[in-house]
Amino acid sequence: MTTRPDRIARVRLSSLRLPLTTPISDAKVLTGRQRPMTEIAFLFAEIGSEQGHEGVGFGYSKRAGGPGQYAHAREIAHELVGEDPNDIARIWDKLVWAGASVGRSGLATQAIAALDVALWDMKAKRAGLPLAKLLGAHRDSVRCYNTSGGFLHTPVEEVLKNATASLERGIGGIKIKVGQPDTRTDLARLDAVREHLGEDVPLMVDANQQWDRATAHRMGRAMERHGLVWIEEPLDAYDHAGHAALATALDTPVATGEMLTSVTEHAELIRAGGADVVQPDAPRIGGITPFLRLAALADHEHLQLAPHFAMEIHLHLAAAYRSEPWVEHFEWLEPLFEERLDIRDGRMIVPDRPGLGITMSEQARAWTTETYST
């Protein structure tokens, strides 16, 4: 008996903006390269099939680019209609070539990400499995650390309170931002956080690409006494040689990759030996399909994995990575979804709901500024 293939019947795109309670500043703001962040733009994709299966996915932009992602997705969305939703890799190639005139990385593939994620969500729902299980999970929970409580606009006393609150919530590690104009301020803040946490709590720092090579080497050596899990983005994201030299010189692992926008860019970083910890972002590199390609490459090189942001997606992908990864905890996106992720004993629990286990909230609908259906 043969089963008739399912077909994609409809695609709905939504552009929305999530406001942040407090303007957010990291080292890029202090160097004058960016303004404080006050909102995040999201592109949501909802895909339905002829047989009644549905999937939801999303991508985002933290500053400029959100309208561009939406516009590009709107131009290519019709390419999905009539396709078998299970043929995700082929559909990804079709979509990327539909817009190849403007590139096969960056904004062009970020617009595809929401569609790709929605197809994987549908496929896992169709199988009645959490996405991690569909991919082949190595674990049912993943170590998690908090970033949102340690930004540079936050006074150190509040950073300490935020760290305590995160640990009490069940989060396992703490990351703080560095990159102050006066490096002594960074070291003093780090000293205070380490003293507050004690020696046993995993601690990371993130310079958001704002050090030069000499500063990164000096600061890396000065911070080694704190036993950091990693130093993140000490240099420009495309300075692979600089990251490689730093990784060789320091005992502390070097983490980077969140700003790269394709598997090819990550492959160049890995080939150069520029990361002990790779930090891909599925929405930034085009979705789950390219993320899996990159994860296979990173695993082959025995690298640690710590995906950037979007924990609702990355929890599943990290759970399917062979060696023990980390997932970054940001509560910022929680208002977008009806569900909440379970965190306890330092770990984020893979939900037992099928697919990603997320549903767009009424608040997300209220923040929507534009929609398109095909």
Q: Which residues are catalytic?
A: 177, 308
**Residue-by-residue DSSP string for 292-325:** HHHHHHHHHTT-EE---S-HHHHHHHHHTSSS--
Taking a C-beta distance cutoff of 8 angstroms, is the pair 228, 255 a contact? no
Q: In the 8-state DSSP scheme, what is residue 171?
A: -
Q: CB-hemisphere CA count at 13 Å for 305?
A: 29
Pairing between β-strand 8-24 and β-strand 368-373 as defined by DSSP bridges: antiparallel
Taking a C-beta distance cutoff of 8 angstroms, is the pair 255, 261 a contact? no
Taking a C-beta distance cutoff of 8 angstroms, is the pair 159, 11 a contact? no
> Beta-carbon neighbour count of residue 287 at 10 Å?
29
| Helix spans in 10-86 (H) | 27-30, 66-76
Task: Say how far residue 25 (Cα) sits from the centre of its chain.
Answer: 18
352: amino acid identity, one letter: D
Taking a C-beta distance cutoff of 8 angstroms, is the pair 56, 45 a contact? yes
| Helix spans in the chain (H) | 27-30, 66-76, 88-98, 107-127, 131-135, 156-169, 183-197, 213-223, 240-249, 263-271, 282-285, 288-300, 311-319, 362-367
